[in-house]
Amino acid sequence: MKIAKTYGYLKKDLDVIEESLNKVIKAEHPVLREASTDLLQAGGKRIRPVFVLLSGKLGNFDLNRIKTAAVSLELIHMATLVHDDVIDDSTLRRGKPTIKHLYDNRVAMYTGDYILASALEEITTIKDANIHRLLAQTIVEVCIGEIEQIKEKYNWDQELRHYLRRIKRKTALLIATSCKLGAIVSGLPEDQANKLYKYGYYIGMSYQIIDDVLDFTSTSKELGKPSGNDLLQGNVTLPVLYAMQDRSFNNLIRETFSNPENVVEEDMEAVLSGLQKTNAIERSYNLSDLYLQKALNALEEVPDQKAKQTLQDIAKYIGKRRS
Amino acid sequence: MNTPSIEIRHLKALVEDKIRHAYLEKYMQKPIIDEEKLTILAAIINNTALAANQKERYIITTMLVQVALDTHELVPKTNNSDESEELKLSKQLSVLAGDYYSGLYYLLLSEIEDFDLIHNLASAIKEINESKMKLYYSKESSFHEYTNLVKEIESILILKVAKYVDDTSLDYVASEWLLTNKLIQEKRKLVNNESSSFVDNWLRNTSQDSYTSTLNTIETIIEDKLQQLERSKLNLPVQYTAIKAHLDSRLNEYIRENISIAEEG
């Protein structure tokens, strides 16, 4: 089953959000407009708007206000993707050429800045201090997370808590914020909004851990990039941290990456097979499941409604994700 | 109201304090805080009836936006396949630092719940990026039109804030001076045989001009602008005495610099 089936009944609302996304980024300059709309048309799961919508459905749902929050969050996410492609020098995203590849870094920087500004212009039509403090804090934390990720590259001595803090900033915070914004906009009581924030946070942690596992367990064809590419780029993820508790793998990785700039795809075969011999993948899935359980627990006191059921279904879907 | 240099130094220190980040400082060149924009902005904001802490917040956040935009200009247009790890890291951090400074402006204004200023600054960022794209794909038929685009890029942010605080009396002088200052900087680069992306971009899109003819045109425009500014500053409202003094000092500096270049031959 595809994740979109769990929230198929939101299609009409998602179409309204899609239409609004297109309107908001209508730039005047043809290249800026084309770059932004191409990115939009490349699609994506729109998972952040889905979380805003579902949380919103639990309160006094007003599509106009919910739409503003959902559009802003998706634009913030999109802006970070455009800039991330410059950072990672990526040529493809979702199977299509990136803006930096189609044009150049300069156009990608201007497009990302334009999209982020569009998001802030949009969200400030809602005058609610709680919304802006939360969102602003999240944006700053996401940036710090990305800076930390670069700082911690090839650091084989980092601790588990460093990894967890990094994925919190990289993925979990924006999903948690999506859930809470939907709740605030729909006037849910603070305690409920906080429960939804926790749900989003735990889901985000679980999702990112599985993503990091898949980097080792999926084929290059499934990933659209070489297996173990995260590690090749120097990103030390959970499976690696667990596997490094095995002395021989620990030696292998330190030896392989003694000169990181010389490591090529072929060198990764021994590392990948070494990692598979440890219990790192199983332990990573266990931690992901633990976060999923916490996500489901956070929903316990949320009123029983269809949207709650969908949030539970999404959690279960994420838990079963193996490709 | 006055904006003496000690206050500008204090404001600059406040902005520097906000953008302080140990790792970024270690691997990136220190962000440049545009003192000309800061001086004009401080003059405009100091002339309002806002509370002292609010004035400070307005100035810091607007400058954060400027620093964010300027930091993103440091990202090279294209990647060199054999770029060093150091260069690659500096590029990556320039992308992230610019985003981080943008996030800080939003955070600081959300703390004082000034949603309308957040909105206005965001609109300014959009307009600036539209103008930057026009400049990048410059189809302007004349250098005059090209410099008009530069004027927009240099002054949109300040003019938006001036409009927001309902004092547009400095608009003309501010935008003309910011353009002139930019042209002076670019001229210095050319005279010192340094590369100028401003001129390179113009020459890339035009077949008519050369480096020398562009330098001559820049000099002519600077001279015209200086004369205009001499006249315009006489009409500035009395509360902008400090800006008048600042402009006098900067114009004299430029004239002295030119005399010494001429004497050195």
Q: Residue A90 maps to which CATH number?
A: 1.10.600.10
Dist. CA B121–CA B123, nearest whole Å: 5
**Could you tell me which residues come within 8 angstroms of residue A72 by beta carbon, excluding any fewer than 6 positions away?**
A119, A120, A122, A123, A135
Dist. CA A167–CA A202, nearest whole Å: 11
Q: Return the H-helix or E-strand segment holding A313.
A: helix A306-320
* pLDDT-derived band at B163, boundaries 50, 70, 90: very high
A32/B129 Cβ within 8 A: yes
Q: What domain count does chain A have?
A: 1
B1 has pLDDT over 50: no
B197 has pLDDT over 90: no
More confidently predicted of B209 and A67: A67
For A209, the domain range is: 3-320
Cβ–Cβ < 8 Å for A24, A67: no
Compare all CA atoms of chain B with the CA of A145 and give the residue at the minimum distance.
B96
* pLDDT-derived band at B265, boundaries 50, 70, 90: low
First-to-final CA distance of chain A: 12
* Amino acid letter for position B98: G
Handedness of CA A306, A312, A317, A320 (dihedral sign): negative
Chain-centroid distance, C-alpha B14: 18
Compare all CA atoms of chain B with the CA of A147 and give the residue at the minimum distance.
B96
Cβ-Cβ pairs closer than 8 A, A with B, add up to 135
The strand pairing partners of A92, in sequence order, are A97
B23/A147 Cβ within 8 A: yes
B205 has pLDDT over 90: no
Chain A contacts in chain B segment 28-87 (CB below 8 A): 68-69, 72, 75-79, 85
Q: Among B93, B75, B65, which Cα is nearest to A100's? A: B75
Most B-contacting residue of A140, A141, A154, A181 (CB-CB within 10 A), to test interface? A140
Per-residue pLDDT in tens (0 to 9) along chain A, 323 residues: 677 888 999 999 999 999 999 999 999 999 999 999 988 888 788 999 999 999 999 999 999 999 999 999 999 999 999 999 999 998 888 778 999 999 999 999 999 999 999 999 999 999 999 999 999 999 999 999 999 999 999 999 999 999 999 999 999 999 999 999 999 999 999 999 999 999 999 999 999 999 999 999 987 777 667 788 899 999 999 999 999 999 999 999 999 999 998 898 889 999 999 999 999 999 999 999 999 999 999 999 898 899 999 999 999 998 777 66
B75/A117 Cβ within 8 A: no
The strand pairing partners of A100, in sequence order, are none
More confidently predicted of B262 and B206: B206
Dist. CA B13–CA A281, nearest whole Å: 49
CA distance B149 to chain A (A): 13
The answer, for B92 touching chain A at a CB cutoff of 8 Å, is yes
B24/A83 Cβ within 8 A: no
